[in-house]
Amino acid sequence: MKASISDHILASAGALFYREGIRAVGIDRIIEETKVAKATLYRHFPSKDHLVAAYLHDRHERVIRSLEEVLNEVPRPRDQLNLIFERLHEKADSPEFRGCAFALAVAEHGDSERVVTVARAHKAAVSQMFGALMERAGLETAQPAAHLSLLYEGALATVAVGRDPQAVLTARECALFVFDEARLSMRS
């Protein structure tokens, strides 16, 4: 099945945005990369702002789908938590990894309400995933889930700056400790 023109534009622009930065990639570069006419690009995405928001929305759906796969494939919540961080480590261990696409987008394009809205919705959805994981374990969710989410986000930021994927494994150990402590406090 051949991708639609908008999917082709989105995939190419998204790869460029993540690899080189949103501000560094202009419309002419996207047109050159996608080999579409300017009018075609603007017919599918009325502005660069719309294209950036669509890129983030697409990335959001892929990240959430990946997290949901873990929650659906692995039966035990503690194992789910472990696997979430293991998969993040695999991504972070790639030379192409630049960190969280949403944090990068807000840092570069934070004056766009459209971009900020998608980024905030993504962060809220990830946090809700950790809440769902804690609920499945039958544990009090609010504080420990916030801790897990912060560990996940902190690991992304630390790897982006320090370029050391081991930070994700450290965050995983901390996350498992938070999970185990929440389980212990429920028993007492």
What tokens appear for 161 in the block?
A: 């700056």
More confident: 122 or 140: 122
Per-residue pLDDT tens over the stretch 54-88: 999 999 999 999 999 999 999 999 999 999 999 99
| pLDDT, mean of residues 20-35 | 96
* Domains of the chain, residue spans: 52-187
Res. 8: pLDDT tops 60: yes
Cα of first residue to Cα of last residue in the chain, in angstroms, is: 56
Q: Where is 160: in which H helix or E strand?
A: helix 142-162
Closest to 145 in 3D by CA, of 102, 175, 187, 100 = 175
In whole angstroms, give the CA distance from residue 26 to residue 119. 21
CA 48 from centre of chain: 21
Give the integer Cα–Cα distance in Å for 17 and 135.
36
Q: What is the mean pLDDT of residues 142-149?
A: 93
pTM equals 0.92
pLDDT-based confidence at 1, cuts 50/70/90? low
Architecture of the domain delimited by 52-187 = Orthogonal Bundle (1.10)
